[in-house]
Amino acid sequence: MGTLEGKVAVVTGAAMGIGRSSAEIFSREGASVVVADIDEAGGRGTVDLIEASGGQATFIRTDVSVPSDVAAMVAHAVDTYGGLDCAHNNAGIAAPLAPLAEYPDDGWDRTIAVMLSGVYYCMKAEIPRMLERGGGAIVNTASGVGLVAYPHQAAYTASKHGVIGLTKVAALDYGAQGIRVNAICPGTARTPMVDEAVQRDPTLDAYLKTLHPIGRIGEASEVAEAAVWLCTPAASFVLGVALPVDGGYVVP
Ligand SMILES: NC(=O)c1ccc[n+]([C@@H]2O[C@H](COP(=O)([O-])OP(=O)(O)OC[C@H]3O[C@@H](n4cnc5c(N)ncnc54)[C@H](O)[C@@H]3O)[C@@H](O)[C@H]2O)c1
């Protein structure tokens, strides 16, 4: 029997990468899963994978930067499975790279809209439904770049630092009401987002390995396992943390 048998989980950015892996692991642990993403084909692919393994999942097209989409996502979970217990707010985009004074304003706006406001809209919609169930667990995907800075990454760094701040506020606001809110801070994990960056600059692969004291980059599933664990009863006393899952990236 899984650790989340009978629970309902929503995962944003679940069409690929860390989110797809998280959706599959929530299902392995017994949860019914709402797969949310702007990528319909990828999202339906995740549902197919879960159903092929005997799990229950449904897709809803959701742009997390649009509050009405996020409200519809949570309503879909309640209508389909009767409530909401767990959420992994994970959708993300590759932000532009430029020195701060040359940073493109449209790239700043889009990055903040998806990766910071998106997490805010998600928690705002999810928390009332979790309160109705007497509690729940939320994990937000921040980044190692939520804990330290990376040059030329103003928008990504600011948005991920912001996700950690939002996570802590929500933990303080709702921890005593049974909702545990935490964040994960991945180092580099092999996902389509990273594969595309490496294709653009093949020297990046070797460089990224040097940034991780463990001597390699991670797999999406290694990050997703930690995210789902934070939503299980095994993490019942863990609240408001920003957990590095990064092969030591933030240690030096
Ligand atoms: N892979 C890494 O090395 C790494 C490291 C640190 C943090 N992260 C974070 O992990 C999360 C997942 O990243 P990934 O590497 O799996 O990326 P990915 O590109 O493989 O997957 C991201 C998913 O988010 C979806 N998405 C993008 N914009 C969206 C929107 N507005 N609404 C809903 N869905 C949207 C995409 O369609 C895609 O399915 C992101 O928040 C990313 O910033 C990744």
Q: How far apart are CA 170 and CA 163, in angstroms?
A: 10
Q: How far apart are CA 33 and CA 50, in angstroms?
A: 9
* Ligand 1 atom closest to residue 115's alpha carbon, by position in its atom list: 41
Question: What angle separates helix 118-132 from helix 154-174, to the nearest 10 degrees?
Answer: 20
Q: What angle do CA 164, 252, 238 make, to 5 degrees?
A: 35
Structure tokens at 18: 């860390």
Q: Give me the domain span that covers residue 167.
A: 8-245
Q: How far apart are CA 175 and CA 239, in angstroms?
A: 7
Alpha carbon of 176 to ligand 1 centroid (Å)? 30
What is the DSSP code (8-state) at residue 146? G
- What is the predicted pLDDT for the residue at 1? 84
Alpha carbon of 122 to ligand 1 centroid (Å)? 15
Supply φ then ψ for residue 156, to 5 degrees: -65, -45
Domain of residue 237, CATH code: 3.40.50.720
Residue nearest to atom 17 of ligand 1 (CA): 193
Ligand 1 contacts (CB < 6 A) are 12-13, 15-19, 37-39, 42, 62-65, 90-93, 114-115, 141, 143, 186, 188-189, 191-194, 220
> How many contiguous H segments (helices) and E segments (strands) does the chain have?
9, 9
Residue 153 burial (CB count, 10 A)? 20
Query: Could you tell me if residue 194 is inside a domain?
Result: yes
Query: Could you tell me if residue 215 is inside a domain?
Result: yes
Q: How far apart are CA 168 and CA 226, in angstroms?
A: 18
Residue nearest to atom 31 of ligand 1 (CA): 63
Alpha carbon of 91 to ligand 1 centroid (Å)? 5
* Ligand 1 atom closest to residue 42's alpha carbon, by position in its atom list: 39
- What is the predicted pLDDT for the residue at 110? 98
Q: How far apart are CA 5 and CA 154, in angstroms?
A: 41
Q: Which of 34, 38, 159 to mutate to test the pocket of ligand 1 (most atoms within 8 A of CB)?
A: 38
Q: How far apart are CA 125 and CA 122, in angstroms?
A: 5
Alpha carbon of 16 to ligand 1 centroid (Å)? 8
- What is the predicted pLDDT for the residue at 103? 98
Structure tokens at 251: 């240690």
Query: Could you tell me if residue 49 is inside a domain?
Result: yes
**Looking at the 3D structure of the chain, how many domains does it have?**
1
Query: Could you tell me if residue 251 is inside a domain?
Result: no
Query: Could you tell me if residue 252 is inside a domain?
Result: no
* Ligand 1 atom closest to residue 193's alpha carbon, by position in its atom list: 19
- Comparing CA positions, the residue from 160, 181, 161 lying closest to residue 172 is 181
Q: Which of 24, 191, 243, 249 to mutate to test the pocket of ligand 1 (most atoms within 8 A of CB)?
A: 191
Report the residue count for the chain. Answer: 252
- What is the predicted pLDDT for the residue at 50? 98
Pairing type for strands 8-12 and 189-190 reads: unpaired
- What is the predicted pLDDT for the residue at 243? 98
Query: Could you tell me if residue 250 is inside a domain?
Result: no
Residue nearest to atom 7 of ligand 1 (CA): 143
**Residues with catalytic roles:** 156
Query: Could you tell me if residue 148 is inside a domain?
Result: yes
What is the DSSP code (8-state) at residue 8? E
Residue pLDDT tens, the chain, 252 long: 899 999 999 999 999 999 999 999 999 999 999 999 999 999 999 999 999 999 999 999 999 999 999 999 999 999 999 999 999 999 999 999 999 999 999 999 999 999 999 999 999 999 999 999 999 999 999 999 999 999 999 999 999 999 999 999 999 999 999 999 999 999 999 998 888 888 888 898 899 999 999 999 999 999 999 999 999 999 999 999 999 999 999 999
Alpha helices for the chain (secondary structure H): 17-28, 40-52, 67-81, 105-112, 118-132, 154-174, 192-200, 204-210, 220-230
Structure tokens at 75: 């309503």
Residue with tokens 């990766």: 115
Query: Could you tell me if residue 2 is inside a domain?
Result: no
